[in-house]
Amino acid sequence: MNRYGFWESPLTADDVVAAAAEIDVASGVRLGGGRVVWAETRPDEGGRITLVEHSDEGQREILPEEFSVRSAVHEYGGAAFSLIDGDVFFVNWDDQRIYRMGADPESGEDGGEPHPVTPEPPSPRSWRYADITGLDGALFAIRERHEHSGVVNEIIRLDDGEATIVAGGADFYSNPRPSPSGDRIAWVEWDHPNMPWDLTRLMVSGTDGGEPEVVASAAAVQQPRWVDDDTLVYIDDRSRFWNLYRRSLSTGADSPVLATDHDMGDPPFILGTSTFAILDEEHVLATRHRDGIWELGFVADGTFRPTATGLTSIRSVVSAEGEAVFVGGSYQTPHSIYRIDLGGEPQRLSVPDDTSLSADFISVGEHRSFDSVGGRTTYAICYPPVNPTGEAPPDSAPPLVVMIHGGPTAQAAPFLRPSIQYWTTRGFAVADVNYGGSSGYGTAYRELLQGAWGIVDAEDCIAVASGLADNGEVDPDGLFIRGGSAGGFTTLAVLVATDVFAAGGNLFGVSDLAALAADTHKFESRYLDQLIGPYPEAAATYAARSPTNHLDRFETPLIVFQGSDDLVVPPAQSRSIVAALEKKGVPVEYHEFEGEAHGFRRAENLRTVLERELAFYQDRL
């Protein structure tokens, strides 16, 4: 018999890395001009992101290998390509310029090879673009200019390479969307210290500029879409859930498209987030988050009619000419591209790479609730260990890996993830926690983290692990916790607060909040105002919450992974806590990956994280 945690798994680290050649949901899928094109990652090509097109003959890569589709706007990017009049426009990672690629790249006709449509910036990569849209020969995009005096964000219009500023003066912009006639354009804007899920403004103006009109400004507005030249559908959280609303610009009449106590939108960390699409004047294809999963359905006459009921994760819902495409996955299947028309059933277009994992080895997630501190309820997607060839000694329980999502205003992803099955096939249980502050459960739940980051999230993660251990479902002596970015901070906060975990994994996580407030990128530079308090006024709170200031209470072995080029959480954050733990004599292992930024994309580094983290935990069992 093999102990839990040491089962022989058919899923190797190489298999997981190969499966990471997946659909890039940050850029998603686009439909138009008879074409369906989506973005896919290529870890074995240094993390390059390419474009793939569906045709009746199958799918084919259409981007030359020297290009990678990825935007650096807000550092997180998103919406890095678009289909406009049958042509592909994309942002190239190396120089951040927009390129155009004609409808038939193989023939070379109609400008088939990519060529830039934006000018050379004053210095390399100092002008960045994202959220590209277009109409009747005009191109619209978010432009982010990195100047000596600071970073400037704006919406521009491009005509034959000449740029005109359509909107400027706000701190941030998203979702530039021209009306069907091309006479007007809608967008979302917001200012510091707000994040785009706190308070934004929905604006409309002429596409040639002019005085903009504020359409909505009392909530976290997102995703404006035109029904016709006078009517917008958008999402806001005035009801304390992100719901759909419809507004006539001429009359000002405003009404819900669907009133529900479920979120229908996501926190827009990345540009181009799309959780619904307009099919015609009366029908919307929309998503809603319920019991930890995303459902897809047709919305008409105030009702939600579910479709694609076998899927649990729905991303990048876009439409054109009465049909839609989206990215969908389930607990048994990875993300794929689907097409659907009004009243029809989804048709899968893409064929994901085989993970080399048969169905009887797949652990299916279960959304569960747990009692937490102060009468709170918290949530997690729980995965039991599954391996038909594994057999543990009687009266034993599996070790547990508590996974903490980033953000922190994000949520656990409910679809087949080989990176989770890597653990469950080896005899680990996994709990993917949606702690207080996570999205998907309404505004009140999301706001639980305001002023309480490092407290509520840590308490909830401990509550999930303790609840499973108290129920006898996991081994109380085999508890592990790991997270990346904001999840890395929560990992460190938990390990400072308790010694119940046998080890922890910190991937590019925050250890010094004051240092983060002083040295991070524009998009998140005031994020901590909401999560901790304004700095330096709340300097004492920053010091009290920073794990690096409480290493006297840190006794748990830790493995740390960091990218050398991370501008969101700079490497100094990880280096300092590793040095302090080494000095104290706490077992610590450190891996810094040259050329990686915030999150790892290269195959060799993804493989190292999996193999070294597994070995580190097994050494503690």
Strand, helix or coil for residue 609: helix
Rounded CA-CA distance 503/430 in Å is 15
In DSSP notation, 257-315 reads EE--SS------SSTT--SEEE-SSS-EEEEEEETTEEEEEEEETTEEEEE-TT-SEEE
| C-alpha Rg value of the chain to the nearest Å | 24
pLDDT tens digits for 580-593? 999 999 999 999 99
| Cis status of the peptide bond prior to 587, with omega within 30 of 0 | no
Residue 75 CA to its chain's centroid (Å) = 13
| 251 exposure class (CB count in 10 Å sphere: 0-12, 13-18, 19+) | exposed
Band (pLDDT 50/70/90 cuts) for residue 55 is: confident
Q: Which two tokens stand for residue 346?
A: 């989804």
- Rounded to an integer, the average pLDDT of 289-312 is 94
The pLDDT assigned to 43 comes to: 87
Rounded CA-CA distance 498/518 in Å is 28
Band (pLDDT 50/70/90 cuts) for residue 103 is: low
Q: What is the dihedral of CA 77, 81, 84, 88, to 10 degrees?
A: 160
Res 354 pLDDT > 70: no
The separation between the first and the last C-alpha atoms of the chain, rounded to the nearest angstrom, is 16
Res 104 pLDDT > 70: no
The pLDDT assigned to 105 comes to: 45
In DSSP notation, 440-502 reads SS-HHHHGGGTTTTTTHHHHHHHHHHHHHHHTTSS-TTSEEEEEETHHHHHHHHHHHH----S
Closest CA to 202 of 185, 183, 215: 215
Rounded CA-CA distance 363/347 in Å is 25
Band (pLDDT 50/70/90 cuts) for residue 110 is: very low
Output 599 or 355, whichever has higher pLDDT. 599
Closest CA to 503 of 388, 336, 385, 618: 618
pLDDT tens digits for 470-517? 999 999 999 999 999 999 999 999 999 999 999 999 999 989 999 888
Res 355 pLDDT > 70: no
Q: Which of 95-104, 226-235, 519-528 has the highest mean pLDDT?
A: 226-235
Residue 145 CA to its chain's centroid (Å) = 24
What does DSSP assign to residue 256?
Answer: E
The pLDDT assigned to 94 comes to: 96
- Rounded to an integer, the average pLDDT of 106-110 is 46
CB-CB contact of 448 with 409 (8 Å)? no
| Cis status of the peptide bond prior to 116, with omega within 30 of 0 | no
- Rounded to an integer, the average pLDDT of 174-191 is 96
Query: Which helix or strand (DSSP H or E) is residue 579 part of?
Result: helix 571-584
Band (pLDDT 50/70/90 cuts) for residue 353 is: low
Q: What are the backbone dihedrals phi and psi of residue 527, each rounded to the nearest 5 degrees, phi first?
A: -60, -40
Class of the domain covering 356-618: alpha beta
CB-CB contact of 390 with 428 (8 Å)? no
- Rounded to an integer, the average pLDDT of 248-258 is 95
Rounded CA-CA distance 489/495 in Å is 10
pLDDT tens digits for 66-85? 999 999 999 989 999 999 98
The pLDDT assigned to 108 comes to: 41
CB-CB contact of 334 with 352 (8 Å)? yes
CB-CB contact of 98 with 141 (8 Å)? yes
Closest CA to 400 of 478, 344, 285, 507: 478
Task: Identify residue 279 by its one-letter amino acid code.
Answer: L
What does DSSP assign to residue 86?
Answer: T
Please state, for a pLDDT cut of 90, what percent of the chain lies above it: 83
Spatial neighbors of 5 by CB under 8 A, at least 6 apart, are 398, 399, 426, 427, 428, 478, 617, 618, 621
pLDDT tens digits for 415-433? 999 999 999 999 999 999 9
